[in-house]
Structure 1
Amino acid sequence: MDHPHLPTTESAVTAIREVAREFDLEMSVTDDIGADRTSRRTSSGAFAVLDPDGSLPHEAFIELGGRPAVTVQVFPEDDAKITVDGLEFADVPRDSVPAFLRSVHGGLAHVKGRFFPPGWWLVVPLPGDETYKELVLRGTLSPWMSGQVR
């Protein structure tokens, strides 16, 4: 089930829960609600308690079980940081998170090596023309990543 737009942190968590069910993954969620609890505050002033729309800012940290080790930090500002086996993908649009997780757990994500410039890249293709790539630093290729080399 695709979500055309995930307007809130709560709807993103619900969509991630669906992906976890699809792939039979355990999931734990930690919610931080309120300006004093969220890690970044760009949507409202420094001492503001509410966001401009009158809502409390809501951030969620999600850990998914299974391999690879995946965590998702959903921010109030419509984006997320997804960490796959210690490799961070920052600034992933909130709407793209379910497709990103399906790509990782569905076997589409893969590791590509290049001689020049040298290095390994974790490549996460999404439907359409969206692709995320992060450089895997030397020596940090996890066992799961090693199994995804193409």
Structure 2
Amino acid sequence: MEKARLPTTEAAVQAIREIAVRFGVSMSVTDDIGADRTSRRTSAELFTVFDPDGSLPHEAFVELAGSPAVSVRLFPEGDARITVEGVEFHDVPRDSVPGFLRSVYGGLATTKGRLFPPGQWLIVPLPGDETYKELVLDSNFTPWLARSARP
């Protein structure tokens, strides 16, 4: 499956909405629009809407209800932070977000323990050769993560 181009935050939100409908998951979206409202523009003056280049930054926070607990923060720069059951995946390209969510909700995401380095890892494979892997802290090991364990 070819990765869809998501040129804007709004296009990514729409793609997430379609995945939520497909998997029967409810979602809520919070939009932050303007340089003084987005999280990475902390140096922007109050009521400054546009970036110095004249663009209007748009950031969105999407929460998907149910199990697993998933949230996605889409940044204006074209990347995202996806949190699955408390495990954060930073710097996921915006274009990879739909494939990431399809893998999580489609049952392809797994946890795997390793002796060295020690720990449990949440592994999310995407179509092609793209795979994301993050360490699961013991305090974050939820029932959904336990069910996703592979030997």
TM over 0.5: yes
SS state at 2:149 partner: coil
1:81-138 C-alpha deviation (Å, 9 max, x unpaired) = 0000111101000000000000000000000111122110000000010000000112
Matched with 1:84 is 84
Q: Does the C-alpha gap of structure 1 residues 64 and 112 become closer, same or farther in structure 2, counting only changes over 3 Å?
A: same
1:139 Cα deviation (Å)? Answer: 3.3
Q: Which moved more, 1:112-121 or 1:20-29?
A: 112-121
AA aligned opposite 1:107: G
2:3–2:99 Cα contact (<8 Å) kept: no
TM-score using structure 2 length: 0.91
Q: Which residue of 1 aligns with 2:145?
A: 145
Structure 1 unmatched ranges of 5 or more: none
- The equivalent of 2:100 in structure 1 is 100
Cα distance in 1 for partners of 2:2, 2:50 equals 30
1:72 aligns with 72
Give the aligned length.
148
**Alpha-carbon contact 1:3-1:15 (below 8 Å) kept:** no
| Contact 1:80/1:90 (<8 A) preserved | yes
1:9 counterpart residue number: 9
Give CA deviations for 1:53-108 in whole Å, capped at 9, x if unaligned: 63310000000011010000000000000000111101000000000000000000
- Alignment-derived partner of residue 40 in structure 1: 40
Task: State the alpha-carbon separation in 1 of the partners of residues 5 and 146 from structure 2.
Answer: 34
Once the two structures are superposed, residues 3-49 of structure 1 have per-residue CA deviations (whole angstroms, 9 ceiling, x without a partner) of: 6210000000000001001101001000000011100039xx84564
Q: Distance in 1 between matches of 2:51 and 2:3?
A: 24
Gaps of 5+ in 2: none
- CA-based RMSD: 1.8
Who is 2:113 aligned against? 113
Cα separation, partners in 2 of 1:88 and 1:114, compared to 1, 3 Å: same
Calculate the TM-score normalised by the size of structure 1.
Answer: 0.91
